[in-house]
């Protein structure tokens, strides 16, 4: 390696040092700490006691809440990601059209994203109230009986999912940026060949937007698997169907003072997120398209 190359490499590592240091100190070291804690029995009041894999054994054999929590979390994430992706994509397509007041509509769709989550959840809970909530009040005009949105196991998670999808303004903005980055010449070429709006969408817009779709889907999966605020407000009701994993970890550690056990659940949850993310990324190769390919 020449002297110039060595100097460039040293300079590169110096500039990368803050990011590498942050990754090590704030990701890998805490992860190792959680792994070590998961092998202990610790209530934060006494010294931790090493118990080996006992916590993991209890999770898969004796824990009556872990399976329910995992299934509820996956259900919530699937519902929110699928419905939310369609909603954000269609909203971006509409907001990309040349309409009067387009800037105002874009601001309106983005506004829910910056609303404090705890405040938004409380307002939505008022709206979902079975007897006096505005949603049931509106449904009454079309002859639909009152629905116990947060009191029924069938509707609790979809209701919380719709609440979360309402704040997908960041994904709408990202899709909108991707749409505006599509070269106009490609769309004009389809028009010259006699293609219609569907042909433009199917053969130009969708393929060129596939990297953006993958980014938004992966980001949404990771974020919605880690849902916390709605579960904190509902406390897992009804019948633990909204006892999502992050809240379950929080409750186990900070309410029941079982920090070693909650660390073990955290590791399993981390592995679950990693597996789901890897599967999503691996399957994306079948539908991803890059302009340079």
Count CB-CB contacts under 10 A for residue 192: 8
Non-local (6+) Cβ contacts of 262 within 8 A are 249, 250, 252, 253
| Residue 49: both structure tokens together | 């006691």
**Domain residue ranges in the chain:** 1-37, 41-286
**pLDDT(161) > 90:** yes
Would you state the pLDDT for residue 287? 84
* Pick from 252, 198, 234, 207: nearest CA to 44: 252
Measure the CA–CA gap between 186 and 201, rounded to whole angstroms: 11
Q: What angle do the packed helices 117-128 and 153-165 form, to 10 degrees? A: 140
Q: Which residues does 100 contact at the CB level (< 8 Å), separation at least 6?
A: none
pLDDT of residue 162: 96
Report d(CA 224, CA 78) in Å as an integer.
9
Mean pLDDT of the chain: 92
Contacts of 220 (CB under 8 A, 6+ apart): 80, 81, 84, 85, 168, 171
Region 41-286: CATH code: 1.10.3720.10
Distance CA 111, CA 36 (A): 42
Segment 45-49 mean pLDDT: 92
Least confident of 4-13, 154-163, 185-194: 4-13
> Confidence band (pLDDT; 50, 70, 90) for 285?
confident
| Distance in angstroms (rounded) separating the CA atoms of residues 169 and 110 | 4
Tokens 């709006």 identify what position?
197
Q: Which pLDDT score, from 0 to 100, does residue 293 have?
A: 56
Overall average pLDDT of the 252-256 stretch: 94
86/84 Cα distance (integer angstroms): 5
């Amino acid at each position: 390696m020449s002297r110039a190359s060595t100097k460039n490499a040293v300079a590169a590592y110096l500039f990368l040092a803050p990011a590498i240091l942050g990754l090590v100190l704030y990701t890998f070291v805490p992860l190792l700490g959680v792994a070590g804690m998961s092998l202990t029995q610790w209530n934060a009041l006494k010294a931790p006691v090493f118990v080996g894999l006992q916590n993991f054994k209890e999770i898969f054999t004796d824990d009556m809440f872990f399976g329910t929590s995992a299934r509820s979390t996956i259900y919530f994430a699937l519902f929110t990601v699928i419905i939310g992706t369609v909603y954000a994509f269609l909203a971006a397509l509409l907001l990309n059209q040349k309409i009067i007041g387009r800037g105002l509509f874009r601001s309106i769709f983005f506004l829910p994203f910056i609303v404090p989550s705890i405040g938004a959840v409380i307002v939505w809970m008022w709206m979902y109230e079975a007897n006096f909530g505005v949603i049931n009040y509106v449904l009454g005009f079309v002859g639909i009986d009152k629905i116990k949105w947060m009191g029924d196991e069938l509707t609790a998670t979809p209701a919380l999912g719709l609440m979360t999808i309402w704040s997908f303004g960041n994904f709408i903005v990202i899709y909108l940026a991707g749409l505006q980055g599509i070269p106009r010449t490609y769309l004009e070429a389809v028009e010259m060949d006699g293609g219609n709006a569907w042909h433009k969408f199917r053969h130009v817009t969708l393929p060129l937007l596939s990297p953006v779709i993958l980014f938004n889907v992966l980001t949404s999966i990771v974020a919605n698997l880690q849902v916390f605020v709605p579960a904190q407000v509902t406390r897992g009701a009804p019948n633990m169907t909204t006892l999502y994993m992050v809240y379950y970890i929080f409750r186990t550690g900070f309410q029941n003072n079982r920090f070693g056990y909650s660390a073990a659940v955290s590791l399993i949850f981390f592995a679950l997120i990693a597996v789901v993310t890897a599967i999503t990324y691996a399957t994306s190769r079948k539908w991803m398209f890059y302009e340079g390919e």
